[in-house]
Structure 1
Amino acid sequence: MKSFPKPSELPVPAGAEGWEKIYPYYLVFQDKLKAEEDEKFWFCDSQHWPTVFKPFETIGAEFAVKCLGQYNARHLMIPTAQGIDYRIHLGYLYMSPIPVPEEDIPARVPEFEARIGHYFQNWESLLAQWHTKVKDTLYEMEALEFEHAPDIVPMQDILDGVGKDGSEKLLENYDRLIQLAYQNWQYHFEFLNLGYIAYLDFFNFCKEVFPNIPDQNIAVMVQGEDMELFRPDDELKQLAVKAVELNLQKHFTDPDNVEATLAAIAAAEGGQEWLDQWEQAQDPWFNFTIGNGFYGHDKYWRDHLEIPLGFIADYIHRLDQGQQILRPMAELVAERERIVAEYQELLDADTAAVFDAKRALAATAYPYVENHNFYIEHWTMGIFWRKVRALSKLFAEAGFWPEDDDMLYLSRNEVRDALFDLINGHGIGAKAIGPVYWPDVVAERKEIVTALKQARPAPALNTPPEAITEPFTRMLWGITTEQVQQWLAGDDDAESGLKGMAASPGTVEGYARVVMDADDIGQVQQGEILVAPVTAPSWGPIFGKIKAAVTDIGGMMSHAAIVCREYALPAVTGTGSASTTIQTGQYLRVNGTAGTVEILDGPTSEDAVTDPAVAEAVL
């Protein structure tokens, strides 16, 4: 069988030598475990972590993958799946699912049934409890502050016998920030894995009673449900509608100038009514990022108001052109009910009752598969990164590093050492060591991270199994036997087209817009086909503009697949190399029903090409 390279066989990019030392020891492959680690098949999770980690940013991967695993292995006792082993190699995250030994499966089944039974029988009350504890965590995290200790302990503290100098708050708040982030990541998976389980149970039942049913048809049978993840985008659409109703369109010509735009609206007739709605929308729905929340550089709406204002301006433009900007909910529900009814008619009464019960459970749990993103990846991590930036700036003011966000180049445990160095110097009246130690370390690590970014990650490592059967790996990441074989075959046939997962049905033709970074989604033009390594749920405002989406990675339950189905857009996910094979401006045919992407000989769009290098290549 063909194999992917072993970790040790991948070349280290020039300038990245010694990269292993910038990450915690437990996140990198070990020479003493080489034989064992080379036996495992590892795939790159570029769906969630598409760019190189700075050292501090590994916290998202560590908390997410550890907590995912604990719910499989320790909470729910899933019979056939434990956790996922993971490593960072050359700056990217690689995963290897851990199976349950066959002899241990029977003992896990009754535990599994009892535990998921409790959740599914008490879904609404337990989910309400989940919202309460997640929000309590968020509010506590938001209240944390990072301020310099006072030069002189206040006299009142002396009189009250406080006995502390205030520096302990820095240590306590930093530790608490990490604890609270970890806490909400544990909550993250409490219902997520159940959502997948409910859908997988329905999926497997459908495959049993309808052996030839397409995967898409099963997915369509739970679409059209209300999802909180779409609420931020819906708020922007409502603000656009309100602006048109109040005849405020002319004030949205320069949304990048937030202060001037809001001032002009405030001075206009009806402007205050719009501003009131704008203010109400921000809490909590502007705790939303155009990225995925896993990186310190992700931009959040509440911190960059030009982003939501820009989306609103685009919606206003489309409304003035008579376009429909709302999701086609009625059509989605009608299509769902049509397909459900057609399959129901094929069943006898008893089997139909089981079918209805399993579909209803899947539809109830399905929205959480996306909704959790808002509360954890967006809201929790938005607060987290804001507090991290505040602490990093405090360090920069003390001379520990030159740039306000340079703390991202330390691991979280190194930050705690640096904190004690800071308060130690302050407390004893001496200079801290950090200002002469960390600048050189940070500079070196910046060079390493920059060098690592010059190389794309290998899609997988080592020898794959004969068949990929682990359900979560297939559904979420789209790592199938066929996909792995396509990776191994290389790009020999990629010039004419690509094969991926049929994630959302329909066939369209149009010009490609390749988007490699969330900051570039503003370049997407009306009617283009989005091509990206991966999409984020927060890209909702552009899904009303595009004809279809094509991604390198992702399965039937990936964010790209779910969002496209909810917008009734064709989608092909898990192509492996679409973003590096296709060029902006090329003419494509996307068949989301068959999972194919063809690069046609049709006209190339000059309007779609903004980069001179790309223009030269495709025109």
Structure 2
Amino acid sequence: MSNGRNFPNPHEVKDLPGTEGWQEMYPYYYPFADTSTMPKTAAYENSMLWFYDGLHYPEPVSPLDLTWDDMWHHTASAWVGRIHVFPGNWGRDHRMIMGRVYIDSTDVDPALIPARVPEFEKRVGFALTNWEELFKKWVVKVEKLIRDTDAMEIPRLPELDSITVVREGTWSTGHDLLVAWNRLMENVHLIWEWHFEFNNLVSLVNVQYIEFVKKLFPGITDKSITQTLSGFDAMLFRAFRELLILAKLALQLGVESMVLNSREWKDVEERLLQSPSGKHWLDAWKKAQDPWFNMSCASGWYHTDGSWCDTPSYPLNQIQQYIGMLQKGENLDKPIEEVLTERDRITEEYRNLIANDEDKKTFDSLLATARKCVHYVEDHDFYVENWSHTVFYKKFREFGQIMVDHGVIKEVDDIYFMNRFEIPEVLYDITASWYCGVAPYGQEYWPPKIARRKAIFENFKEWRAPEALGPAPDDFTNPVMINEYGFDNATIERWLGAQDIDVSTVSQLKGYAGSAGVVEGPARVCLSVDDLGKIQTGDILVAPSINPAWSAYFPNVSGVVTDIGGIFGHAAIVAREYKLPAVVATGTGTKVIKTGDKIKVDGDTGMVYIVARA
């Protein structure tokens, strides 16, 4: 263990038995550098604080699933440092240890900051002033890119190419196959470019508003601040609302018994087809699919998550839960009017306390901008991490099927144990062997390599990644990391203090007040999506982080606790919209709390109390 204000040294973390050589399956620039052969790079790494990105990757990530991280490694930093020109920050560098992603925050040389400020003000000022127009364009171009990707043809290699190639002087199908992968990766990169067109700006706006309000009202709670920004209808919520609409329709049509007949979609569909009312409901189901079923069953960051499109039993089971709750007389509609009324009341109370007219003007301006932009946090998640990733995963599997057809891999999902740079080589091998009329070189090369990688990957799951690596800074002020992750000075201190503590002796945790209210009940610790099915009505959900797709379970739970995530992260935002008490960024919640523990969540103060152990 490290001492003082240091977390473990990334170069001293030992590989688990059975994971030796894991580095070769990821891009060469992901593992921490070898100190003997790359001393300069290692020295840079040793000088930085690296956060474990459990927000996006709470579980080990396979080589091809790492594509999403690789893309935002590029694009987040592009928009922070080179496009919007944040004065003090270049972006976030990324590294990996045993399938876990770590990120740092790279600062600009203080001498360069004055020259960057005018560019920052000009560019960010334009974007925020023209927000509505730019966002409308964003929706159009993003949806077009997704639909164009969905329509992409991934060609199979025929016995013979068409004679039209000769007649029209075009090219071989093999060329089309190679181009298709490159085009797919171009689209992946572009969707993530556009993801960050606004993402960092929203974080900046939120932090500016929070800092100003806390300056005006030193005693104001995070609960009160976040309540002033609640009450918006994001695209992500629309998907779950469609399921609620279908649940209500089943009751209206009197087909609820058919919908509840089985947890398997094919059985339910067969029953519904036997009656006019059932067919009516099926028509509504089909109509809702585009685009709302382009939702991940979990986070959208793992190929194992599945989507509502390819796992129809998932939305069906959610509808069945809603039907059961509606039959009990429960109100499942998001309490938007209550949220808005409370938002406006609190805002007006604080505004009336501002005596200085200039301060009041600044308050009004910052609040208006924050409310104007806040929807983007959940809107972009629907378009990018859910809709686009659903489409991209479908295309990845088409390439996987081609590899299966040519004997290079045994199962379609084996493709996920290749990284994105290896796949063009495999496709080139397949194409070359097709041209030559011989078996692909990869038929004997890849199966044992894939088997080895799968075994290593399973062993990754035995490692509990440290929350951070490297030296702890005296002052950490990156607005994006604070806003989205909850990584700030207080969080760092909690992690440092917890390194040598016996978690069985901990009786309370401090985090951020993510959503107002107080609740007491049984804890349900969910470390992955596989645990969600164990949730019982009234449980308090405790997780490393929570992604928006988990919102389907929010009507069942009574409160939320997370290890990481800021007050404008997904967990806090969704909890506020459902009026669920939430405490985020506890740092060690999933280590300290066990399923069945009776806990008290105080979303007003950011405290979690362990009332009784299971």
Instruction: Give deviations 1:45-84, integer Å, cap 9, x for gaps.
Output: 1111111121112211010122111111011111222201
For 1:249 and 1:403, locate their aligned partners in 2 and report how far apart those are by CA, in whole Å. Answer: 38
- In the alignment, does 2:30 pair up with 1:27? yes
Would you identify which runs of 4 or more consecutive aligned residues in structure 1 move more than 6 Å? Answer: none
Residues 69 and 82, structure 1, Cα contact 8 Å, conserved in 2: yes
Letter in 1 for 2:454: K
Q: Which aligned pairs between 1:291-370 and structure 2 lie closer than 5 A?
A: 291-348=298-355, 349-370=357-378
Partner of 2:533: 522
Unaligned runs of 5+ in 2: none
Aligned match of 2:18: 15
In the alignment, structure 1 segments of 5+ residues that lack a partner are 603-617
Contact 1:396 1:403 in 2 (8 A): yes
Confirm or deny: 8 A CA contact 1:514 1:583 kept in the other structure.
Answer: yes
Cα deviations across residues 466-511 of structure 1 (Å, max 9, x unaligned)?
A: 1222222222111122222222222436532222222112110011
Question: Which residue number in structure 2 is paired with residue 284 of structure 1?
Answer: 291
Q: Identify which of 46, 50, 55 aligns with 1:42.
A: 50
1:424 aligns to 2:427 (yes or no)? no
1:269-310 residue CA offsets vs partner (Å, 9 max, x unmatched): 422222221111110011001222122212100110000000
Query: Aligned residue for 2:407?
Result: 399
SS at match of 1:133: helix
Q: Which residue of 466, 480, 486 maps to 1:478? A: 486
Deviation string for 1:186-225 (max 9, x for gaps)?
0001011222222222222212222222222221111101
- Determine if the alignment matches structure 1 residue 378 to structure 2 residue 395: no
Per-residue Cα deviation, 1:97-118 (whole angstroms, up to 9, x for no partner) = 0112222222111111111121
Q: How does 1:454-533 map to 2 (within 5 A)?
A: 454-490=462-498, 491-492=501-502, 495-533=506-544
2:269 is aligned with 1:262: yes
For residue 553 of structure 1, the aligned residue among 549, 564, 579 is 564
Name 1:206's counterpart in structure 2.
213
CA contact under 8 A between 2:521 and 2:599: conserved in structure 1?
yes
Aligned partner of residue 339 in structure 2, secondary structure:
helix
Q: Is the 8 A contact 2:600 2:611 kept in 1?
A: yes
Q: Aligned AA for 1:418?
A: V
Tell me: CA distance 1:197–1:514, structure 2 relative to 1, closer, same or farther (3 Å).
Answer: same
Paired amino acid for 1:427? Y
2:171 is aligned to: 164
Displacement after TM superposition at 1:333 (Å): 0.4
Q: What is the match of residue 99 of structure 2?
A: 91
Task: After TM superposition, give the deviation of residue 323 of structure 1 in Å.
Answer: 0.3
TM-score, normalised via structure 2 length: 0.95
Give the CA deviation at 1:263. Answer: 2.2
Partners of 2:515 and 2:603 within 8 A in 1: yes
Counterpart secondary structure, 2:187: helix
| Corresponding letter in the other structure for 2:388 | T
Q: Secondary structure at the match of 2:104?
A: strand
Instruction: Give the 3-state SS of the residue equivalent to 2:94 in structure 1.
Output: strand
Determine if contact 1:198/1:358 at 8 Å carries over to the other structure.
yes
CA distance in 2, matches of 1:285, 1:502: 31
Residue 230 of structure 2 corresponds to residue 223 of structure 1: yes
The one-letter amino acid of 1:20's match is Q
Asked if structure 1 preserves the Cα contact closer than 8 Å seen for 2:204 and 2:480, the reply is no
1:158-206 Cα distance to aligned partner (Å, 9 max, x none)? 3x23353311111111110010010010000101122222222222221
2:87 equivalent to 1:79? yes
Query: Would the aligned equivalents of 2:202 and 2:377 in 1 still touch at CA under 8 Å?
Result: yes
Q: Letter of the aligned partner of 1:390 in structure 2?
A: E
* Cα shift readout 1:496-553 (whole Å, capped 9, x = no counterpart): 2222222112110011111122133222111110111111101111111111011111
Which of 87, 112, 116 does residue 124 from structure 2 map onto? 116
- TM-score for the superposition, normalised by structure 1: 0.95
What is the deviation of 1:233? 0.3
Does structure 2 conserve the Cα–Cα contact (< 8 Å) formed by 1:507 and 1:570?
A: yes
Number of equivalences: 602
Q: Does the 8 Å CA contact 2:222/2:512 hold for their aligned counterparts?
A: no
The 10-residue stretch of structure 1 (351-360 or 275-284) with the greater mean CA deviation from structure 2: 351-360
The question of 1:447 aligning with 2:455 is answered: yes
Percent identical among aligned pairs is: 35
Residue 580 (1) aligns with residue 591 (2): yes
Q: Which amino acid aligns with 2:561?
A: V
Contact 2:203 2:479 in 1 (8 A): no
For 2:42 and 2:361, how far apart are their aligned partners in 1? 52
Do the aligned residues in 1 keep the contact of 2:58 with 2:527 (CA within 8 Å)? no
Alpha-carbon shift at residue 571 of structure 1 (Å) = 0.8
Q: Which residue of 2 aligns with 1:609?
A: none
1:565 offset after TM fit, Å?
Answer: 1.0
Moved more, 557-566 or 316-325: 557-566
Q: Contact 1:255 / 1:313 at 8 angstroms: preserved in 2?
A: no
Structure 1 residue 4 corresponds to structure 2 residue 7? yes
SS at match of 2:612: coil
Superposition deviation, residue 350 in structure 1: 3.8
1:267 CA drift (Å): 2.1
1:568 equivalent in alignment to 2:579: yes
Q: Which amino acid aligns with 1:564?
A: A
**Which deviates the most, 92-101 or 313-322?**
92-101
269-278 or 25-34: bigger deviation:
269-278
1:84 & 1:514 partners in 2: Cα distance?
Answer: 30
Deviations 1:120-146 (A, max 9, x none): 221111111111111111111101232
> Partners in 2 of 1:38 and 1:249 — Cα distance?
60
Question: Counterparts of 1:526 and 1:408 in 2: how far apart (Å)?
Answer: 35
Match of 2:446 in 1: 438
Structure 2 counterpart of 1:24, one-letter code: P
Within 2, Cα distance between the matches of 1:297 and 1:391? Answer: 17
Is the 1:255–1:310 contact (alpha carbons within 8 Å) kept by the matching residues of 2?
no
Letter in 2 for 1:81: N
CA distance in 1, matches of 2:184, 2:149: 6
Structure 2 SS opposite 1:52 = coil
**What is the Cα-based RMSD across aligned positions, in Å?**
1.5
